[in-house]
C-alpha cells in the first residue's frame, strides 16, 4: 500500500500549542473491517441499510448501560482545559483532535436525539443530525484517539474522552463500520489464542529457540515452559513478546527472574495473549470473552499465581477489570490473591534480595522511563499509592547506574501516549502515529541532549512497537526503546545465588 507523503514535525525546544489547522488530518482513516472479520465477532458485515436508526438505538442502549457516557455527554462546559492536552492535537494541529471537539462529534448527535434543547433549538446548542458526513467524521476522528485518558486528568469534571471514543466504536461496530486492525486481531485471539495468530506448535518452537539462545549467552539452563500443569505461576504476556524486537528481550528477562528466584512458572498456549483489544473497541462482552481464556488456562493448569507481562492496556484490564469480568480469583494462593504485574513480582524479589543484579552490565546505557498511559492513568502496582510510577523506576535503578526522568509534565499521570495505543498501531495510520509521538519525542530529545540518554525503557508492547517504528522519523535510533525486563535480563547474574 502506498502511504501518502507527509512531513515529520520538527522537534521544538519548548512545547508550543499549535495554531489550528482545520482539516489537517481529515484524510487519515484506517481500513474498514471487511465482512468476514466483522461477522466473526457477531457484527454486521457492512454498513446496514437503516444504519442511522440502528446507530441512534445503540447510542440509547449505551446511555442506559454506562453512567460515564451519560454524565460526560451532559457535563462538558467547553472550558477548554483539555484542548491542548491531546498528543494528536499537539502533533497535528487539527482542531477536531482537541478532546472536547472529539467528544462534541458525539455530543452534537446526543443533543439532537436525546435532549429537549437539541431537538427544538439545534443551532443554538450545536446539535446536528446523524448524516453520512457525520458518520464519516466519526470514523476519521474516533480513530485518531488512542484512549490514553490524558485529557481526563485535566478535566474539571473528569470527563474521559476514551469512554466516548469507545462508545463511538461500539456504535460503529453495531452498524457494520468496524476498524480492520482491531477487529481482525480480536478474531485471531478467539481462533488461535493470541493477537499475532501464533499457533501452539510455533510457540513451542520459538520458546525452545529462546532457551538455546539464553544457554549460549549465559551457560545457564533457563527454561521457558509452556502448558506445564501444577506450575506455581501462570505468566500471561503480550504475544509480541514471543518474537518481536525488542519485546523478546523482556520475555528473556522474566524467564531469568523466575529461574534465579526458583519459582516454577509456565506460559499457556490457550492464554498466549495478555493484550485485550476488546477494551479498544469498548465492547464489554468481547473484553470478557478474551479475558476468560486466562481464567480457563489458570484453572486448567492449576496454578497458584497469575502474572502479567509488560503490556500497558493489558495491565489496565487485568488490574482494573479482571476481578469484575472473570473473578473471583478465590482459587489463587492466599498470599497472592490477585493477578500481579511482572514488575510487582520482580520488585518483591529484589527487595527480598533474591536476585543478583550487576548494574555495571548496563553501564553503556543511560536510561529514561516512559510511563505507559494505561498503566499510569488506569491502574496501580503494589499496595502503595503511585506504585505504578515507583515500582518500575525502582527496578530500573536496581539494574542501571544512569537514570534520568523526562520533564515532570510529561511523566507519571501526565505522561504522553506513545502515539500508537488504543488500536491505532497499524501502518494505515502511520502519519497519525508519527505526528502523535511528537510531545513524547520532544521530552525525550531534552534528556538525550541534556544527559546523553540512549535508552527509553517502557512496560508496554504497543509503546515498544510504536517507538521502534517512529524513533527513526525523528532521527533517533530504533534500538533506543526497550523493556524494563530487558534491563533486568542484562543485569541479572545467573547461577546459584
Partner 1 sequence: MTAVTIVFALMFYVVTALLLGGLAWKIAGYARTPAPLRIPTTPAPPHARGVVLRMAREVVLFESLFKSSKWIWGLGWLFHVALALVLLRHLRYFTEPVWAAVALVQPFGLYASFAMVAALAGLWARRIFVERIRYISTPSDHLMLVLLIAIGATGLAMKYVAHTDIVAAKAFMLGLLYFDWQPLPADPVLLVHLALVAALMATFPASKLLHAPGIFFSPTRNQADDSRERRHLSSWAAELER
Least distance in angstroms from the C-beta of 164 to partner 1:
12
The verdict on 288 binding partner 1 (CB under 8 A) reads yes
C-alpha cell at 38: 466483522
Q: Could you identify the residue written with the cell 533517533?
A: 476
Residue 421 binds to partner 1 (criterion: CB under 8 A): no
List phi, psi (to 5°) of 373.
Answer: -60, -45
**Count of other CB atoms within 10 angstroms of residue 300:** 14
Supply the minimum distance, in Å, between the C-beta of residue 333 and partner 1: 15
The one among 32, 153, 172, 224 contacting partner 1 by CB under 8 A: 153
Question: Which region among 29-37, 149-157, 257-265, 449-457 touches partner 1 (by CB under 8 A)?
Answer: 149-157
Which lies closer to partner 1 via its Cβ, residue 258 or residue 315? 315
Residue 77 contacts partner 1 per CB under 8 A: yes
Exactly one of 25, 41, 59, 82 binds partner 1 (CB under 8 A); that residue is: 82
Check residue 68 for interaction with partner 1 (CB under 8 A): yes
Of 90, 141, 145, 160, the one binding partner 1 by CB under 8 A = 160
Q: Is 80 in the site for partner 1 (CB under 8 A)?
A: yes
At a CB cut-off of 8 Å and minimum separation 6, what does 65 contact?
A: none
Q: How far are the Cα atoms of 172, 227, 232, 269, 301 from residue 326, in angstroms, in the given order?
A: 26, 20, 20, 19, 16
- Beta-carbon neighbour count of residue 371 at 10 Å? 26
Contact 485, 257 (CB under 8 A): yes
Regarding 159 and contact with partner 1 (CB under 8 A), the answer is yes
Grid cell of 312 as nine digits: 500497558
Q: How many residues bind partner 1 (CB under 8 A)?
A: 68
| DSSP structure string for 279-318 | TTTT-HHHHHHHHHHHHHHHHHHT-SEEEE-S-HHHHHII
Give the residue, chosen from 36, 156, 199, 302, that forms a contact with partner 1 under the rule CB under 8 A. Answer: 156
Separation of alpha carbons 414 and 158, rounded Å: 14
Asked whether the beta carbons of 354 and 497 are under 8 A apart, the reply is yes
Should residue 72 be labelled a site residue for partner 1 when binding is judged by CB under 8 A? yes
Instruction: Please identify, using beta-carbon distances, which residue of 17 and 208 lies nearer to partner 1.
Output: 17
Q: How far apart are the C-alpha atoms of 399 and 455, rounded to whole Å?
A: 13
What's the min distance (Å) between Cβ of 77 and partner 1? 5
Q: At what angle do helices 67-75 and 51-65 cross, to 10 degrees?
A: 100
Q: Is 74 in the site for partner 1 (CB under 8 A)?
A: yes
Residues in touch with partner 1 (CB under 8 A): 17, 19-20, 63-68, 70-72, 74-85, 95, 98, 100-101, 104, 115-117, 123-126, 149, 152-160, 163, 284-285, 288, 319-321, 323-324, 327-328, 338, 376-380, 385-386, 388-389, 413
Amino acid at each position: 500500500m502506498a502511504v501518502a507523503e507527509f512531513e515529520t514535525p520538527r522537534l521544538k525546544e519548548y512545547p508550543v500549542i499549535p495554531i489550528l489547522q482545520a482539516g489537517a488530518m481529515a484524510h487519515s482513516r484506517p481500513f474498514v473491517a471487511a465482512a468476514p472479520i466483522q461477522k466473526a465477532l457477531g457484527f454486521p458485515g457492512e454498513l446496514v441499510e437503516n444504519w442511522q436508526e440502528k446507530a441512534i438505538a445503540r447510542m440509547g442502549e449505551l446511555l442506559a448501560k454506562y453512567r460515564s457516557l451519560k454524565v460526560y455527554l451532559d457535563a462538558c462546559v467547553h472550558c477548554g482545559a483539555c484542548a491542548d492536552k491531546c498528543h494528536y492535537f499537539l502533533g497535528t494541529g487539527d482542531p477536531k483532535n482537541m478532546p472536547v471537539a472529539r467528544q462534541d462529534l458525539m455530543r452534537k448527535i446526543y443533543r439532537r436525539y436525546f435532549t429537549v434543547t437539541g431537538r427544538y433549538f439545534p443551532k443554538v446548542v450545536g446539535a446536528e443530525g446523524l448524516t453520512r458526513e457525520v458518520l464519516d467524521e466519526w470514523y476519521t476522528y474516533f480513530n485518531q484517539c488512542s484512549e490514553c485518558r490524558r485529557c481526563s486528568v485535566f478535566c474539571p469534571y473528569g470527563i474521559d474522552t476514551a469512554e466516548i471514543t469507545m462508545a463511538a466504536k461500539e456504535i460503529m461496530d453495531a452498524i457494520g463500520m468496524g476498524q480492520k486492525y482491531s477487529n481482525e486481531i480480536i478474531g485471531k485471539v478467539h481462533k488461535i489464542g493470541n493477537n499475532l495468530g501464533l499457533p501452539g506448535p510455533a510457540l513451542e518452537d520459538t520458546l525452545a529457540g529462546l532457551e538455546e539462545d539464553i544457554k549460549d549467552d549465559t551457560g545457564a539452563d533457563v527454561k521457558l515452559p509452556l502448558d506445564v500443569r501444577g506450575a506455581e505461576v501462570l505468566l500471561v504476556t503480550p504475544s509480541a513478546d514471543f518474537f518481536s524486537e525488542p519485546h523478546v528481550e523482556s520475555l528473556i528477562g522474566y524467564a531469568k527472574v523466575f529461574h534465579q528466584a526458583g519459582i516454577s512458572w509456565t506460559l499457556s498456549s490457550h492464554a498466549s495473549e495478555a493484550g485485550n483489544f476488546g477494551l479498544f473497541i469498548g465492547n464489554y462482552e468481547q473484553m470478557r470473552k478474551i479475558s476468560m481464556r486466562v481464567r480457563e488456562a489458570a484453572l486448567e493448569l492449576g496454578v497458584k499465581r497469575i502474572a502479567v507481562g509488560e503490556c500497558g492496556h493489558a495491565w489496565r484490564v487485568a488490574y482494573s477489570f479482571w476481578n469484575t469480568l472473570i473473578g473471583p480469583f478465590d482459587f489463587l494462593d492466599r498470599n497472592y490473591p490477585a493477578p500481579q504485574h511482572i514488575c510487582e513480582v520482580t520488585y518483591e524479589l529484589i527487595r527480598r534480595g533474591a536476585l543478583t543484579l550487576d548494574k555495571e552490565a548496563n553501564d553503556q546505557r543511560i536510561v529514561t522511563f516512559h510511563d505507559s498511559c494505561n498503566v499510569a492513568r488506569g491502574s496501580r502496582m503494589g499496595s502503595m499509592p503511585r506504585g505504578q510510577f515507583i515500582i518500575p523506576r525502582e527496578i530500573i535503578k536496581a539494574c542501571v547506574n544512569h537514570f534520568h526522568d523526562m520533564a515532570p509534565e510529561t511523566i507519571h499521570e501526565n505522561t504522553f501516549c506513545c502515539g500508537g495505543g488504543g488500536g491505532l498501531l497499524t501502518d494505515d495510520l502511520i502519519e497519525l502515529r508519527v505526528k502523535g509521538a511528537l510531545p513524547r519525542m520532544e521530552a525525550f530529545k531534552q534528556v538525550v541532549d541534556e544527559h546523553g540518554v540512549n535508552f527509553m525503557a517502557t512496560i508496554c508492547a504497543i509503546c515498544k512497537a510504536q517507538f521502534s517504528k517512529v524513533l527513526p522519523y525523528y532521527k533517533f535510533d530504533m534500538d533506543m526503546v526497550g523493556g524494563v525486563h530487558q534491563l533486568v535480563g542484562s543485569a541479572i547474574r545467573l547461577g546459584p545465588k
